[in-house]
Amino acid sequence: MIVERPLLAPLAMLLVACTTTAVAPRVTGRSAPQTHTARGHVMKYTVSLPTGWTRDRAWPVVVVIPDATRDFEGNLAEFATAGATTPYIFVAPHVVTSGGSRGYRDAPGFRYTTTDWREVDRLGDFRFDEEGVAAVIADVRDRFHGDDRVYLTGWEAGGHTVWALLFRHPERFRAVAPVSTNFLGRWLDADQPVAPPAETPAVRVFFCGAHCFPPDVRRNLMTQTREAIALARGRGFQEIAIDVREGTKHGPLAADVLTWFVSFAP
């Protein structure tokens, strides 16, 4: 099912307008981004804490996966800006699977040492991400009182990571929003089988407007998205809509995604 919507109006007092930019904007009220290494793993992650954060309550967590540029901090800033007044902890794990493998380690967003890359080689790319994201979620829980069950989103080539995590570990997520994603079925035939989910999270695919991609690229992404949805339905997930946001630009659609996530607040 494809749902076409006009450009989203801002949520008063909740979300601020989001624009795609290569420069991380300063977010008033939220903490300056911090980068940590997950305890028990070498995966790094960058985190933005909400205004008024304290340790005396649990906080909702949104995990954000970038496109093939691996601009973890820039992608995080999109969400911290769009959700400046929300209570979300935004987390950008420094995953290695959000795009092709050729030359990706030269991406400027990575802060891994030679020793860290040896650990990636030892585990393999997806096992590194699979175990690393779990370690990041646990670390955010322990350091920042984040919820155990988190929200997940990622765009374009980040879809390789998002769909694989969703299929293999649906129990980790409260809601999942793939955005204009690639999907080639990567890592679904790995050694660990994909178990039928006992409880499936809500899933909605967001797509930018008709003119955000050249027509052939858009068709290709839409075809891959439909293949992912078909596989999800075959694995017991409920109907997944493709929500086309006309008037939006190329990017992670942070404001649109966060507006949807808000509807699942416990």
Name the domain count of the chain. Answer: 1
**Rounded average pLDDT over 11-15:** 40
Q: What confidence score (pLDDT) does residue 194 get?
A: 53
Strand partners, 178: 154
CATH number of the domain enclosing 69 = 3.40.50.1820
In whole angstroms, give the CA distance from residue 99 to residue 223. Answer: 18
In whole angstroms, give the CA distance from residue 30 to residue 53. Answer: 9
pLDDT confidence tier of residue 230, bands split at 50, 70 and 90:
very high
Residue 121 predicted with pLDDT over 60? yes
**Rounded average pLDDT over 213-240:** 91
In whole angstroms, give the CA distance from residue 146 to residue 234. Answer: 32
pLDDT confidence tier of residue 188, bands split at 50, 70 and 90:
confident
Residue 247 predicted with pLDDT over 60? yes
Between 13 and 95, residue with greater pLDDT: 95
In whole angstroms, give the CA distance from residue 43 to residue 201. Answer: 25
Between 99 and 183, residue with greater pLDDT: 183
pLDDT confidence tier of residue 17, bands split at 50, 70 and 90:
very low
List the domain range (segments joined by +) for residue 187: 2-262
Between 28 and 210, residue with greater pLDDT: 210
SS3 265: coil
In whole angstroms, give the CA distance from residue 233 to residue 221. Answer: 18
Residue 87 predicted with pLDDT over 60? yes
DSSP letter string over 141-196? HHHH-B-SSEEEEEETTHHHHHHHHHHH-GGGEEEEEEES-----TTTTSSSPPPP
